[in-house]
Amino acid sequence: MDATRVPESRKNYLRPLDLKHGRVDMAHGAGGRAMAQLIDELFARHLGNEWLAQGDDGAVLPTPGGGRLVMATDSHVVSPLFFPGGDIGCLAVHGTINDVAVMGAQPLWLSAAFILEEGLPLGDLARIVASMAAAAREAGVPIVTGDTKVVERGKGDGVFITTTGVGVLAPGRDFSGRLARPGDAILVSGTLGDHGMAIMAGRENLGFESPIVSDTAALHGLIADLLASGADIRVLRDPTRGGLATTLNEIARQSGVGMMLQEKALPISPPVAAACEFLGLDPLYVANEGKLVAICAQNDAEKLLTAMRNHPLGRRAAVIGSVYADPQQFVQMATAFGGKRIVDWLTGDQLPRIC
Amino acid sequence: MKYIDEFRDGDVARKLAAAIASEVSPARRYRFMEFCGGHTHAISRYGIADFLPDNVRMIHGPGCPVCVLPIGRVDQAIRLALEHGVILCTYGDCLRVPASSALSLLKAKALGGDIRMIYSCADAVALARRNPDKQVVFFAIGFETTTPPTAVAIKQAAALGLSNFSVLCCHVLTPPAIASIMEGADEQLQLDGFVGPAHVSTIIGSRPYEPFATRYRKPVVIAGFEPLDVLQAIRMLIRQVNEGRAEVENEFSRAVDRDGNRKAQALMDEVFELRESFEWRGLGTLPYSARRLRAEFAGFDAEHRFALAYRPVADHKGCDCGEILRGIKRPQDCKLFGTVCTPENPIGSCMVSSEGACAAHYTYGRHKSA
């Protein structure tokens, strides 16, 4: 669950969910405002509790011994199952490790639940599970329990995987989307949009070829280096579905602040920029699976940037903007062209089934 | 990106803005309409209004394909999917256009309709070949830019002898829409000129705009969709106004000439003929403003194949899309804007596509009116 309750001031913007006649549509899964509304008005309304209300990528939970755990869960429905740079298996491992790690926790264990469609070639399943095993081994986070269900042909799409992760949170570490403050710096750990465009290129109906590969990676090693740098970090988040724009809008809403990005500072690789231009997509809304957004005190921005760039996953890190006071909670961007514009929530679904 | 970044150069933009500021006459105002949604999008996305003096105002026109699609046409597409059980294919922006009974194609998909978003109408032909037991209908919308590809798809289907492929043709023409603005709305608008279409003009050329310059005495400058194109076109319009000229000029000469793409024009003429009349959202029913399949291709006409009647449906009472499409109102003048009507829950079609005036203002510029 990565959305909090909507502040009263924002509620007027939305028409309530139509529980009588409405149906789930694809926009409810796109990571944008429609999904935030579904979570707020349906899931949080029925399931709400103090831990769910934290509204971050993972929940921080007390243990009887006085320590703290972080728990996060993530379902993976990506299509195609195999794509340049990865597959649904390693993605399911990386995605959940990252959701635990961005809370500042050390990821320890994973569970994996499989929904398999009748007819899925066993060879494909074996490739996927071997890829999960390799990803878990490399990350040092074992998969310790699991579940398997099979549905009839046509009721699924090959395989869906849900993973849950548990980690421990050291004392004094508190990162949350609610902690961004005016004046803070916004950093990103590398190029934007690689995962989404790799999936796009992998889809046969588009008929375009590109050298773009997914950035899917476990980020807990990079995050450990950032924590060790001593920089005063307030927020860590991985900008997955809905891309950087959606993640920053979530944080702006949680913290009740505005943000100003500098378009010239955004790291975007030339092939991704070209593919987005060609397809009419905005890289700010395209998913990443191995990138980190960090918000820290302005004075520590250089220190954090250096720590990022010293890690193999952060070579192309950049300071991309800053936080400012704005009761309207707008994320804005100074364009390279010289104007200013809003970088809004994603509407609809640019790319369904991206992760 | 080479060949693109050059047209988005901030330094050049500032110089152009300074040139515009020095050329405008402070004593008068300049009101220009950009016809195309592509220009509306560029103006909003790049904040072009920030570069213009206060007495130069851009007014958004009706050239956004999904914005001018009337409810009755979306209803036809929904009926095909829900009642006739076809695989309905269309371009992405169409999916969220509001239709009758609080439906849209996206919601009809959630109700069980087999509705597919495609990137090219060739994909619809391929789907028909892969699903010989299903009827596949391509919901074809758009101006002259998207019409030739539809013609190619129909010819391809004919060559393959496909009996399960058809087109719900809602292709419309640009010149009648401009004429409608000139004839109807201009008394209120008092326009000083037009930024002419970019991609449409690559097909039809610059010649079709010449009557607007001569008959209505309005300058037209055809412009590309990049922000520097738009700024340069505005500067050319200002010069024409200052010099008392009303001519068709071409800023987008790297892609547009006077005659346009004759091969594409011939294809359109081969496959389509003009409808006697067609209802547009906002502009009403305009004569000879849209296309349908010629009798030789009637077998591929979904209206014919499924005996679809057209039933006009009035827009939502509070929605000002009509006035906004004609340039009479601005998005923020509509009382539904940003409250009841948002990109998630569009009431009117202008809130759907990022080329629509309301969605462009909401997405990129509402901080200015907030």
* B199 inside 8 A of chain A by CB: no
Q: How far is the alpha carbon of B338 from chain A, nearest alpha carbon, in Å? A: 7
DSSP A50: T
CB contact under 8 A, B344 and A344: no
Looking at residue B162, what is its pLDDT? 97
Q: Kindly give the residue spans of alpha helices, DSSP state H, lying in B144-226.
A: 147-160, 174-180, 186-189, 199-204, 210-215
* DSSP E strands, chain A: 59-62, 68-76, 82-83, 86-87, 106-117, 143-151, 159-169, 185-188, 233-237, 258-262, 293-296, 318-324, 331-334, 340-342
CB contact under 8 A, B4 and A277: yes
* B159 inside 8 A of chain A by CB: no
Whether residue A350 is predicted with pLDDT greater than 80 in this model: the reply is no
Identity at A18, one-letter amino acid code: D
Q: How far is the alpha carbon of B109 from chain A, nearest alpha carbon, in Å? A: 8
Least confident of A25-34, A111-120, B138-147: A25-34
Q: How far is the alpha carbon of B279 from chain A, nearest alpha carbon, in Å? A: 27
Q: Are A183 and A243 in contact (CB under 8 A)?
A: no
CB contact under 8 A, A12 and B339: yes
Among candidate residues B240, B234, B222, the one with its CA nearest the CA of residue B21: B234
Q: Which of A15, A274, A344 sits opposite B340 (nearest CB)?
A: A15
Whether the upstream peptide bond of residue A80 has omega within 30° of 0, thus cis, is: yes
CB contact under 8 A, A342 and B366: yes
Percent of chain A with pLDDT strictly greater than 70 = 93
Please tell me which residue, A172 or A267, carries the higher pLDDT value: A267
- Average pLDDT of every residue of chain A: 91
* B160 inside 8 A of chain A by CB: no
Residue numbers in chain B where pLDDT is lower than 50: none
Task: Please report residues of B whose CB lies closer than 8 A to that of A281.
Answer: none
Looking at residue B86, what is its pLDDT? 98
Q: Which of B10, B44, B363 sits opposite A337 (nearest CB)?
A: B10
CB contact under 8 A, A277 and B1: yes
Task: Please report residues of A whose CB lies closer than 8 A to that of B365.
Answer: 341-342
Looking at residue A326, what is its pLDDT? 96
Percent of chain A with pLDDT strictly greater than 90 = 76
How far apart, in whole angstroms, are the C-alpha atoms of residue A141 and residue B67?
Answer: 51
Q: What is the pLDDT of residues B136-187, one digit of tens each?
A: 999 999 999 999 999 999 999 999 999 999 999 999 999 999 999 888 877 7
Looking at residue A339, what is its pLDDT? 84
CB contact under 8 A, A347 and B95: no
Task: Please report residues of B whose CB lies closer than 8 A to that of A15.
Answer: 340, 345
Task: Please report residues of B whose CB lies closer than 8 A to that of A353.
Answer: none
Structure tokens at B281: 């959202």
Please tell me which residue, B144 or A355, carries the higher pLDDT value: B144
Q: How far is the alpha carbon of B83 from chain A, nearest alpha carbon, in Å? A: 18
Distances (CA, A) of B349 to B66, B94, B320, B322, B324: 7, 9, 10, 10, 11
Domains of chain A, CATH where assigned: 14-169 (3.30.1330.10), 185-342 (3.90.650.10)
Please tell me which residue, A173 or A112, carries the higher pLDDT value: A112
- The pTM (predicted TM-score) of the whole model is 0.87
How far apart, in whole angstroms, are the C-alpha atoms of residue A219 and residue A287?
Answer: 15
* B55 inside 8 A of chain A by CB: no
Q: If pLDDT is split at 50, 70 and 90, which confidence band does A348 have?
A: low
Mutate which: B43, B344, B350, B362, vs A, most A CBs within 10 A: B344
Looking at residue A204, what is its pLDDT? 61
Chain position carrying tokens 């969220």: B96
Looking at residue A203, what is its pLDDT? 78
The residues facing A323 across adjacent strands are A259
Looking at residue A8, what is its pLDDT? 39
Mutate which: B12, B145, B345, B353, vs A, most A CBs within 10 A: B345
How far apart, in whole angstroms, are the C-alpha atoms of residue B23 and residue A137?
Answer: 67
For residue B226, the chain A residue with the least C-alpha distance is A337
Task: Please report residues of B whose CB lies closer than 8 A to that of A14.
Answer: 342, 344-345
For residue A336, the chain B residue with the least C-alpha distance is B10
Q: If pLDDT is split at 50, 70 and 90, which confidence band does A128 have?
A: very high
Q: In the Cβ-directed half-sphere of B19, how many Cα atoms lie within 13 Å?
A: 16
Looking at residue B12, what is its pLDDT? 95
Q: How far is the alpha carbon of B292 from chain A, nearest alpha carbon, in Å? A: 28
Task: Please report residues of A whose CB lies closer than 8 A to that of B359.
Answer: 347
